[in-house]
């Protein structure tokens, strides 16, 4: 292949590295694709046959995983990032009332590391397989000059569908309704700029293992973002869910109001148990509680709002589906989120 002064390689972009990355990830991607996916890899767009809905509504979301990529780069562990981006985007689609159907990913970097990119995409493919989502396309872009040596970014797009009558907007939420919380696995994909700064200022490394964590900081920081697709679909089979919120950047304060149709919520902060990583960040960084609540999920990754008399049935349905859940608060007239 040309490698002289006038070649693409001499400018910092290797077509061969890109082709190797695709070859390494191809089989993992193809295993996620069922009969709904039309054609195979190599087309200009992914094709997905949408069937079985009378009045279909599509829900689509795009997001990234922020500076969590810097933790993964430091530790040279990339597979969990694939789960992060799939689960984050799938949860966003889920919160609208739609079932996630297919996913696309994007990895931009200064110099493509085929093995690292393939590990990331294999992680995404595994997460897609667990959720019944087809990974139908993606893009890897090598852009020296835009990204520095070792820099990269990860973005995902997820699309789902539901009947028009099954869209969840929060319009049916009423005062007295119950807010059901589902546990997060930790930081998920939010607040890493603060989480990393706290660690740096305290002089700790990702290899340190504070007693309160029971593992290294790096392991806690790279814990994958949890998905709630199976549990929430099972819950909706049992009773009406009037509002849903994926608790991402902005925490409960910023995200729960999006599920309440203009109303508010009073939450009992003692009704769930925080993962230890939040206590570590709070104490090491002297972070005020209001700021913790504005930045992190603090142990609640997803919320569902149900009628007051549906609490026991909701909690039992979620536990039967494999996820612990608790009533964490009540819907009130006054907008906003307050903690008791």
CA–centroid distance for 140 within its chain: 20
Q: What are phi and psi of 336, to 5 degrees?
A: 100, 175
pLDDT classification of 192: cutoffs 50, 70, 90: very high
Does one domain contain both 64 and 184? no
pTM: 0.91
Q: Domain range for residue 121?
A: 8-166
Cβ 152 vs Cβ 73: under 8 Å? yes
Does one domain contain both 189 and 156? no
Residue 210 clears pLDDT 90, i.e. is over it: yes
Does one domain contain both 160 and 297? no
Angle at 174 between CA 171 and CA 176, to 5 degrees: 155
Cβ 298 vs Cβ 250: under 8 Å? no
The per-residue pLDDT for 314 is 98
Does one domain contain both 202 and 333? yes
Distance CA 170, CA 244 (A): 7
Does one domain contain both 13 and 148? yes
Query: For 116-143, what is the mean pLDDT?
Result: 92
Is 183 part of a structural domain of the chain?
yes
Distance CA 314, CA 50 (A): 30
Distance CA 314, CA 303 (A): 11
Residues 6+ apart with CB under 8 A from 226: 87, 183, 184, 185, 188, 301
Cβ 223 vs Cβ 81: under 8 Å? no
Three-state secondary structure string covering the chain: CCCCCCCHHHHCCCHHHHHHHHHHHHHHHHCCCCCCEECCCCCCCCEECCCCCCCEEEEEEEEECCCHHHHHHHHCCCHHHHHHHHHHHHHHHHCCCCEEEEEEEEEEECCCCHHHHHHHHHHHHHHHHHHCCEEEEEEEEECECCECCCCEEEEEEEEEEEEHHHCCCCCCCCCCCEEEEEECCCCCCCCHHHHHHHHHHHCCCCCCCCCCCCCCHHHHHCCCCCCCHHHHHHHHHHCCCCEEEECCCCHHHHHHHHHCCCCEEEECCCCCCCCHHHHHHHHHHCCCHHHHHHHCCCCEEEEEEECHHHHHHHHHHHHHCCCCCEEEEEEECCCEEEEC
Does one domain contain both 189 and 249? yes
Residue 17 clears pLDDT 70, i.e. is over it: no
Is 3 part of a structural domain of the chain?
no
Provide the percentage of residues in the chain whose pLDDT is more than 70: 89
- Of 105, 140, 166, which residue sits at a domain end? 166
Residue 7 clears pLDDT 60, i.e. is over it: no
The per-residue pLDDT for 45 is 81
Does one domain contain both 233 and 319? yes
Does one domain contain both 62 and 194? no
Residue 35: how many CB atoms within 10 A of its CB? 8
Does one domain contain both 114 and 242? no
Is 2 part of a structural domain of the chain?
no
Per-residue pLDDT of 93-113, as tens digits, reads 999 999 999 999 999 999 888
Cβ 318 vs Cβ 237: under 8 Å? no
- Of 134, 166, 198, which residue sits at a domain end? 166
Tokens of 229: 């697709």
291 backbone φψ class: left, alpha, beta (φ>0; ψ -120 to 50): alpha
Does one domain contain both 157 and 203? no
Mean pLDDT lowest for which of 135-144, 156-165, 247-256?
A: 135-144
Is 172 part of a structural domain of the chain?
no
Is 65 part of a structural domain of the chain?
yes
Is 92 part of a structural domain of the chain?
yes
pLDDT classification of 311: cutoffs 50, 70, 90: very high
Is 171 part of a structural domain of the chain?
no
Report the domain count for the chain. 2
- Of 146, 166, 186, which residue sits at a domain end? 166
More confident call, 80 vs 25: 80
Cα radius of gyration (the chain): 21
The per-residue pLDDT for 9 is 62
Identify the CATH number of the domain in which residue 153 sits. 3.30.1330.10
Q: Which residue has the tokens 């993962």?
A: 275
Query: For 193-220, what is the mean pLDDT?
Result: 95
Instruction: List, in sequence order, every residue forming a beta bridge with 104; answer none if it has no partner.
Output: 137, 157
Does one domain contain both 151 and 57? yes
The per-residue pLDDT for 114 is 85
* Average pLDDT for the chain: 91
pLDDT classification of 20: cutoffs 50, 70, 90: low
Residue 154: how many CB atoms within 10 A of its CB? 26
Identify the CATH number of the domain in which residue 183 sits. 3.90.650.10
Query: For 142-168, what is the mean pLDDT?
Result: 93
Is 187 part of a structural domain of the chain?
yes
Does one domain contain both 299 and 193? yes
The per-residue pLDDT for 48 is 82
Q: Determine the straight-line distance between the first and last CA of the chain, rounded to whole angstroms.
A: 66
The per-residue pLDDT for 1 is 46
């Amino acid at each position: 292949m040309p490698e002289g002064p006038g070649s693409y390689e001499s400018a910092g972009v290797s077509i061969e590295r890109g082709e190797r990355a695709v070859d390494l990830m191809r089989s993992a991607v193809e295993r996620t694709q069922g009969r709904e996916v039309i054609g195979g890899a190599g087309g200009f767009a992914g094709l997905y046959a949408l069937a079985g809905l009378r009045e279909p509504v599509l829900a689509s979301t795009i997001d990234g995983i922020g500076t969590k990529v810097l933790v993964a780069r430091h530790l040279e562990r990339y597979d969990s990032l694939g789960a992060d981006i799939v689960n984050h985007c799938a949860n966003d689609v889920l919160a609208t009332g739609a079932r996630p159907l297919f996913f696309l990913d994007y990895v931009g970097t200064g110099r493509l590391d085929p093995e690292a990119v393939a590990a990331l995409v294999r992680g995404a493919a595994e997460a897609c397989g667990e959720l019944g989502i087809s990974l139908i396309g993606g893009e890897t872009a090598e852009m020296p000059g835009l990204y520095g040596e070792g820099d990269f970014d990860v973005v995902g797009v997820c699309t789902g569908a539901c009947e028009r009558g099954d869209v969840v907007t929060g319009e049916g939420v009423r005062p007295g309704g119950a807010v059901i919380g589902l546990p997060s696995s930790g930081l998920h994909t939010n607040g890493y700029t603060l989480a990393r700064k706290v660690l740096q200022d305290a002089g700790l490394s990702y290899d340190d293992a504070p007693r309160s964590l029971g593992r290294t900081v790096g392991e806690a920081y790279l814990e994958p973002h949890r998905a709630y697709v199976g549990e929430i679909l099972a819950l909706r089979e049992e009773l009406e869910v009037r509002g849903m919120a994926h608790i991402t950047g902005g925490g409960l304060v910023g995200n729960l109001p999006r599920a309440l149709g203009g109303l508010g919520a009073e939450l009992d902060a003692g009704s769930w148990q925080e993962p230890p990583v939040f206590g570590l960040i709070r104490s090491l960084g002297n972070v005020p509680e209001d700021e913790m609540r504005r930045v992190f999920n603090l142990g609640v990754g997803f919320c569902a709002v149900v009628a007051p008399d549906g609490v026991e049935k909701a909690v039992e349905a979620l536990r039967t589906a494999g996820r612990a859940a608790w009533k964490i608060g009540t819907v009130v007239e006054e907008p906003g989120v307050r903690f008791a």
